Amino acid sequence: MKLVTSAQMKSIDSRTIREYKTPGIELMEKAGLGTAEACRRYLSDCAGKRVLIVCGRGNNGGDGLVAARYLAKWKARVQILLLGKKDQLTGDAKTNLNRAVKHRLAIRQATKADNLPDMLPADLIVDAIFGTGFEGEVRGLEKSAIEKINRSGIPVVAVDIPSGLNADTGKFDPVCVRAAVTVTMGLPKMGQFFFPGKDFCGEVKVVDIGLAPNAVETEKLELELISAEEVKNYIPLRPGNIHKGGAGRIFMLAGSTGLTGAACLACESALLAGAGIVVLGVPESLNQIFEAKLTEVITKPLPDVGKKGALALRGLGEIKNHLEWADCIAIGPGLGQNYQTVELIQRLVSMRINRPLVLDADGINAFAKKPELLKDLPFPVILTPHPGELSRLIGVPIPEIEKKRVEIAKKTAREFNLVLVLKGAPTVVADPEGAVFVNSTGNSGLAKAGSGDVLTGIISGLLAQKVKLEKGEILSRQVLESALAGVYLHGLAADLNKTARTTYSMLASDIMRSLPDAFVTIAG
């Protein structure tokens, strides 16, 4: 699903009205109806329920006035609080104000913060103050209204976007409505999935208001939201007679002294994501630990740096034989940064692997001083850094990466010619062709050591299956789809843990163990 900025949405709206002859009043009617239906679903049955609709003087207020008519028709007890005078409304909003008056809906006007009433008793508040075009500082009457809405403790359904929130950045100054549900029109907006905006939007529901498909296509939108409907199509289809060798073989290099857990989480997650066989290459001195911890994973002891629990450079030839066996290679979780291990990884990646590679954690750190070795490799690569790892690789400070997640992810993917998974809130995926995807799942429970290792395993497991099921042919689309599905399932598994575990007590292993439920949720 495409993700838009406020300017792009305005352009699509205008083009739909101007070039495709769809009246603006018709778009507003559908927006208001969609809002009313969301309110009815939230209340289960709105008959007899008290709904307060707080309207601004623009088109967002007009949407709220339409919603008021439908809710009154469905027997809700509707009250409208208009922030301003009736004669300040124009255009389609004015038309819908007149319709509300004709239907004898209760309308109360407030023109100053001083005469703004306390929030009237209600079961639900509809926020229709500002739309997606708002930017800047909230002041005066609207600021007081938003503060009273938030203090009321009454659940809120926001029309298009919580009032005060910047639709592009997800930021606000100084206040923003905190919504339980946001009913957004036509297409989701960037600011609804970037923090702190995501926390203030609640559940985001997209309403079809009749935008002309050609008007959307003409805008040439590059940013997309990773959604369940698309991910369902990205999960590999397994024939009933498949065997373990045909379900994808992964060779993983991971683990070092003190970091064996990272390798275990990655390997087991790959199996839970569907891979048929995982062989884990580990430092020889740690092999007994891995033998004890892992039941379903095959371990391969490799030359060690003086029994220090780090992969030695002299293991290069032996590792190369395993690369030829595998359908997918994963390198990095818990690998450590011993100088021999770093050189080993650099040499491995410089070889003609001819297998898709998932590179994470210390696998990425190995190229911090030689990033040029990762550019334009002759085989598909998925890079999965957190902002710190990406900062070391490209020499951009972490605060700047966090501020420009989309732009930097897009630039890096193009510059290195690979699929980049920039982990964070939200996780952003970029491909070499310029497309950027924003993940819609996940919560703060993912801020726990090991969760990135689980993600590496999931992506590797999906990718190994896709390559094998396509008879070994590696397509750029397979690589991107594996990254997108892996990111979404990873976040979904965390979301499924949120109620029972809370975001405080959630562990990476909880996320891993919830992968089967995440697959079931997608399939359903």
| 8 A C-beta contact, residue 210 and residue 28 | no
Sheet of strand 249-253, all strands in order from the earlier edge strand to the far edge:
223-226, 436-439, 428-430, 419-422, 381-384, 357-360, 328-331, 249-253, 277-283, 298-302
Distance CA 383, CA 370 (A): 15
pLDDT of residue 354: 85
pLDDT of residue 351: 87
Neighbours of 92 (CB within 10 A): 21
**Close Cβ partners of 115 (under 8 Å, ≥ 6 residues apart):** none
Phi and psi angles of residue 364, each rounded to the nearest 5 degrees, phi first? -80, -40
Angle, in degrees to the nearest 10, between helices 91-102 and 59-73:
20
Consecutive H or E run containing 9:
helix 6-18
pLDDT of residue 471: 57
Phi and psi angles of residue 348, each rounded to the nearest 5 degrees, phi first? -60, -50
What is the model's pTM?
Answer: 0.94
Consecutive H or E run containing 107:
strand 106-110
State pLDDT tens for residues 98-142. Answer: 999 999 999 999 999 888 887 778 999 999 999 999 999 999 999
CATH class of the 22-220 domain in this structure:
alpha beta
What kind of fold does domain 240-424+443-523 have according to CATH?
UDP-N-acetylmuramoyl-L-alanine:D-glutamate ligase (3.40.1190)
Q: Which amino acid is at 399?
A: P
pLDDT of residue 98: 98
Q: Is the dihedral of CA 21, 24, 26, 32 positive or negative?
A: positive
Q: Which amino acid is at 247?
A: A
Helices (H) and strands (E) in the chain, counts: 20, 17
Domain boundaries, the chain: 22-220, 240-424+443-523
For the chain, residues with pLDDT lower than 50 are none
pLDDT of residue 451: 98
Block residue for tokens 């062989």: 279
pLDDT of residue 468: 74
pLDDT of residue 470: 65
Angle, in degrees to the nearest 10, between helices 339-350 and 316-325:
40
pLDDT of residue 472: 53
